Amino acid sequence: MTSAKPHLSTASLYKILEYNYFIFPPTLVLTFYVCYAVLRFKLDKLDVSSAGDWDWTTIVHVLLTSICAFTQAPPYSNVWGLCLPMRPFAYARAPLTRSFKRLRICLVTKGTNFETVVNSVHQWEALRHHSYLRFHVVIDNEDGEHLRKALPSFVQVTEVPGPSIFRTRKAKYKARALEFYRQQQNLSEEDWVLHLDEESLIDAASVQACLDFILRGEAQIGMGTIYYNGVNHWQNSFLSAAEVTRISDDFGQFQLPVRICRRPLLGYMHGSWVLINGAVENAVTWETACVAEDFWFAYNAVSRGFKFGWLHAIVREQPPETLRDFFRQRRRWYTGIFSIPNVFVRLSLMTTVIGPISFLVWPLVTLFRDRQPVPHWLFVWMLWNSVSQGYTIFVASVLQDLVTPSVSWSSMIVHAVKSVVLWPFVHLLQAFALISCLWKPAKGFDVIAKS
């Protein structure tokens, strides 16, 4: 029997990640070298030629690989995000630059996942001693009295009135609840709002990261890393592996543009674990019918010139509980992003979701047809694409398990291997969800089940 490893605290994990540029580049190169040696000299199916013949096979592979690699923004963004200096303690070590009055922690719920909300709010008990914190639960349900009674007295509950009482120009669903909350709170530049989903679990480290960002930073919007180990961790291998791919994307698609350019790529922003200054909320508002209100908000905040920063702390959430919920969740996201009137947004979404599938074409062609000579340079390039993608997913899984209690060392390796193996199938299902939105967009705002 393998004993469980001691899990790391958030602070301990980031003490390791402070030296990410010493850890990940050499281990990535070593991983590539080992895979190269094994594939080049051990697999009979590969016929690697030193010649650079441009036959039809080479042309197809180059075309597909180029589409996959160079339509990403930037190419190999997950690898760059993992290997470039993260500087997780930059805000904590910076001088004071501004002050504030209060930080509001705001959780929005329909009230259907009753136990999930109660469990999340229970984590706030340990934070009550902070005088500058205000705790809010926004219930987007006219029948929320049962949930109101179950919440502790220090939580301010806001129930969103029906459409006949509170009318908006465009806002629907969660955006409507957020817009009502914004108007009711009379936010100012001295106010900050930490937006959370109903299953988001925060702790003292999360709050401290927010305070450092507010007091010692210059950006007006912050978002941070989400791990999906709050509940049902690896109870369903496919669904847990799917969320590991999102953690991997945090290094690149989400985090890298924020770290380098002080703005997200187009509008890629999490819907939870987002810290926003009150003046920014008032300027952008939540007046949108877009069902991906987080993307819409970030897209419009970028167009207004507001600066973004990264919160180097972890909020724990959970993966969907069923494949049906997973599919519905992705369809809602893709429908919302496609509604943004920008061709680059739509192309970015399609290449991000569908593009990596081209990595699968070369192995399938190689394994299921007569051998064709592959130029050595093309072999190296395609191997690099696959190894770099698999490496970032492997690392993302390990980092998540390091801060997860009761995960043994052997289970940690098994989870990482499963994540790499299941990654292509996750992308295939996400690609199908995206394609299905092209002829039949998702309707409404599906709230998936949480436990």
What proportion of the chain, given as a percentage, has pLDDT over 90?
68
More confident residue, 104 or 446: 104
- Residues 281 and 360: their CA atoms lie apart, in Å, by 43
Reading phi first (left if > 0) and then psi (alpha if -120 to 50, else beta), residue 87 is in left
- In this model, does residue 44 exceed pLDDT 80? no
| Beta-sheet strand order (sheet of 274-277) | 155-159, 133-139, 102-109, 191-196, 274-277, 221-227, 308-316
pLDDT at 381: 85
- Residues 373 and 277: their CA atoms lie apart, in Å, by 58
Please choose, from the candidates 210, 174, 194, the residue with its C-alpha nearest in 3D space to the C-alpha of residue 294.
Answer: 174
Strand 274-277 and strand 308-316: the pairing is unpaired
Do you find a cis peptide bond into 424, omega within 30 degrees of 0? Answer: no
The per-residue pLDDT of the chain, averaged, comes to: 89
Max CA-CA distance within the chain? 74
- In this model, does residue 42 exceed pLDDT 70? no
Q: What is the dihedral of CA 201, 89, 94, 189, to 10 degrees?
A: -20
CA distances from 328 to 292, 331, 429 (A): 13, 5, 11
- In this model, does residue 355 exceed pLDDT 90? no
- In this model, does residue 369 exceed pLDDT 80? no
DSSP bridge pairs for 136: 106, 156
- In this model, does residue 370 exceed pLDDT 60? no
Enter the tokens of residue 442: 């998702």
pLDDT at 47: 56
pLDDT mean over 181-194 = 96
Crossing angle of helices 10-17 and 20-42, rounded to 10°:
70
CA 122 to chain centre: 24
pLDDT mean over 302-329 = 95
- Residues 114 and 118: their CA atoms lie apart, in Å, by 6
Grade residue 364 by pLDDT with cuts at 50, 70 and 90: low
- Residues 51 and 63: their CA atoms lie apart, in Å, by 19
Strand 155-159 and strand 191-196: the pairing is unpaired
Enter the tokens of residue 349: 């979404």
Q: Note the pLDDT tens digit of each residue in 375-394.
A: 778 778 888 888 998 999 99
- In this model, does residue 203 exceed pLDDT 50? yes
Domains of the chain, start order: 10-85+345-439 (no CATH), 90-337 (3.90.550.10)
Least confident range of 50-54, 132-136, 163-167, 425-429: 50-54
pLDDT at 210: 97
Please choose, from the candidates 104, 297, 108, the residue with its C-alpha nearest in 3D space to the C-alpha of residue 207.
Answer: 104
Enter the tokens of residue 169: 């120009």
- Do the Cβ atoms of 220 and 305 come closer than 8 Å? no
Residue with token string 């199938």: 425
Grouping H, G, I as helix, E, B as strand and the rest as coil, residue 225 is: strand
What proportion of the chain, given as a percentage, has pLDDT over 70?
91
Grade residue 48 by pLDDT with cuts at 50, 70 and 90: low
Do you find a cis peptide bond into 25, omega within 30 degrees of 0? Answer: no
**What residue type is assigned to position 388 of the chain?**
S
More confident residue, 127 or 370: 127
CA distances from 416 to 147, 285, 352 (A): 38, 40, 22
pLDDT mean over 222-247 = 95
- Do the Cβ atoms of 318 and 228 come closer than 8 Å? yes
- In this model, does residue 1 exceed pLDDT 50? no
Rounded to the nearest 5°, which phi and psi values hold at 394? Answer: -60, -50
CA distances from 244 to 13, 390, 420 (A): 17, 11, 9
Least confident range of 78-87, 120-129, 260-269, 355-364: 355-364
**What residue type is assigned to position 2 of the chain?**
T
More confident residue, 279 or 345: 279
Angle at 383 between CA 378 and CA 386, to 5 degrees: 130
- In this model, does residue 178 exceed pLDDT 60? yes
- In this model, does residue 451 exceed pLDDT 60? yes
